[in-house]
Amino acid sequence: MTLSRAVKRNLAHLAVLTILSAATAPCFSAPVAVDNTPYQYGYLRLEINGARITNFAEDEQYQGWLEIRMVEAKGIVPSRVSGALSQSSNSAKPAQFAPNHWTIVSAILHSGRSGPGKLRFIAGDSGGLEPLFDVQKKSAIIPDAQFDLYDGATDKLIGKFKITGIRILSLEDVPASACGAYEITVSFRTLAQM
């Protein structure tokens, strides 16, 4: 019994799709939290000169957005060096900045302190990140972006936020990724819930 040409073509197409799915799965699958470390991911709706910055967002409702993984934040918030106000003459000095540490975004949001800070995340590149390189070279500021943040363990929406005064600090190639990806660090003026 011989297979018809159409059946052979369909089987070949199915085999190619299976191989491509297996090869690209590492690009799209969410990393697993290690040592109970919280993991957050999200989506940025970001435009530069009228062009949307996009990649291969898995979720259909976020087509045309930039999917970002391994999202961390660093808040720039003043704190007293000693941790408490003293009654000495030193208490009249202005507050100094505490050392900054990368943490999950929700920790910064729940601190009750708002203001400038930094975000660091991984974004896959399907050819839509090029405008970010231009913005970084020019040290330009992106006025604002919408940011939807999710909990990686539960896929539950943490919140919808507006980020203002965005500056691209670094775009570093992630050589270990199975497809083109960059670790991107940005600074922002404000991050507020919508």
Q: What's the CATH number where 144 sits?
A: 2.30.110
Q: Is 121 exposed, middle or buried (0-12, 13-18, 19+ CB in 10 A)?
A: buried
Contact 44, 122 (CB under 8 A): no
Contact 89, 47 (CB under 8 A): no
Does 18 reside within a domain?
no
* H-run or E-run covering 13: helix 5-28
Structurally, the chain folds into a number of domains equal to: 1
Range of the domain at 126: 32-193
Measured CA angle at 73 (ends 85, 159), to 5 deg? 105
Does 17 reside within a domain?
no
How far apart CA 172 and CA 184 sit, in angstroms, is 6
pLDDT per position as a tens digit, 123-163: 998 888 999 999 999 999 999 999 999 999 999 999 999 99
- Give the pLDDT confidence score for residue 57 in this predicted structure: 87
Does 182 reside within a domain?
yes
Does 120 reside within a domain?
yes
pLDDT per position as a tens digit, 91-115: 333 333 344 578 888 777 765 556 7
Does 9 reside within a domain?
no
For the whole prediction, is pTM greater than 0.75?
no
Does 150 reside within a domain?
yes
Does 94 reside within a domain?
yes
Does 186 reside within a domain?
yes
pLDDT per position as a tens digit, 33-54: 444 557 899 999 999 988 999 9
Extract long-range pairs of 174-178: CB within 8 Å, 24+ residues apart.
174/122, 177/26, 177/27, 177/122, 177/124, 178/23, 178/24, 178/26, 178/27
How far apart CA 168 and CA 174 sit, in angstroms, is 17
Q: Which residues pair with 75 in a beta bridge?
A: 117
Q: Residue 19 in 3-state DSSP? A: helix
CA distances from 17 to 20, 41, 94, 117, 157 (A): 5, 27, 62, 42, 31
- Give the pLDDT confidence score for residue 53 in this predicted structure: 93
